[in-house]
Amino acid sequence: MNSKDELISCFASHSIHESYDDYYRLKILSKNDAIFYRKSIGLKLLNKKESYSIGIVKDDHLLALAIARPRMEDSAIFNRRIGSIEWLTIDHSLSCNERKDVISHLLQQCHNSWSQVFDMVTVLIDFDQYEIIEAIQKHGARVYGGDYTWVCKLDRIKELIFKEHSLENVTLAGKEDTQSLIECAKQSYATYRSHYHADSRLDINLCSDTYVSWVKKHVADDGQVVIVKNEEGVIIGFSTINPHYELNEYFRSNLVGEIAVSGVSPFARGMRVYELTLVRGIEWFKENNYCYIVYGCSANNYVVQSTWIKLGDFRPKRFCYRFHWWLGESSKNVL
């Protein structure tokens, strides 16, 4: 089953891994809504020219599917062919032994095919996906961190937090703020330690550039950014706003938004700058009638987590291991 058209046809006919949609896990969507939305996203991924997909099909039934896409900005920064697996799933109606065989077969095919186009792919795998976690490690992938996703329904955030925080110097960035914003991002992430920093195969001096690049792209795409300026008009903290347009357009409702990448200049830390950007971001989502707000962070980023907990009734709803899977020639001699 090498034809993408045939794979799309199988995928459109059979819903796999139904109850493990991200938004269903976060308790934002019902199971049926999650299935329909996940299928829609999967079909879009499969149809993208730059996606690479592998499927295991038996008797016209799709048993497992993996879809990877290149990370162009990261590839340019590291001068390595970096990708991410955006879909890795198996049919859980199979028996335990069948699932193990199918996922092993899938990963072997992925390695054989993707080693021609990627040096390394990253992937997030939910902690309870035991067969996938075991199998991908046997194929050479290694854990380089863990991520929590936290959720709060916006009507559970008390109006008092907006009165308790002075937001006079907290605004949305304009075009004239771009250079100062990028400089703040560079300063903020100069000392940050990420899953990229933990991987000795990547140049540690370039790892922070990935986050600065993300902020640049967000601004270039006209994304909203909450900023805090000091008395001299210099940006000392920021948080990007991600309205999850695709999900909300699909359901024709402002269901969920996310405050994604944040940063605070080193000399401004300890001044509650990060907290101010979050409060203004939450206010923006409330003003635009969103239902839920989510955020993700590294499992060991306790400062960020404690700040969010203080602001509202946030709860951790999902935990994933982050894997790096080196392929091709550079995958030899894996420790």
pLDDT tens-digit map of 48-77: 989 999 999 998 899 999 999 999 999 999
Percentage helix, strand, coil, to 5, in the chain? 45, 25, 30
pLDDT at 335: 35
Cβ neighbours of residue 25 closer than 8 Å, sequence gap 6 or more: 126, 317, 318
Is the pLDDT assigned to residue 331 strictly greater than 50?
no
| Extended strands (E) in 224-280 | 225-229, 235-242, 256-264
Per CATH, 4-148+323-331 and 158-312 having the same topology is answered yes
Q: What angle do CA 66, 5, 131 make, to 5 degrees?
A: 20
**4-148+323-331: what fold?**
Aminopeptidase (3.40.630)
The predicted-structure confidence for 173-231, as pLDDT tens digits, reads as follows 999 999 999 999 999 999 888 999 999 999 999 999 999 999 999 999 999 999 999 98
Q: Which CATH class is domain 158-312?
A: alpha beta
- Please answer whether residues 139 and 325 qualify as being in contact, where contact means their C-beta atoms are separated by less than 8 angstroms: yes
| Backbone φ and ψ of 296, nearest 5° | -120, 150
- Domain chopping of the chain, boundaries: 4-148+323-331, 158-312
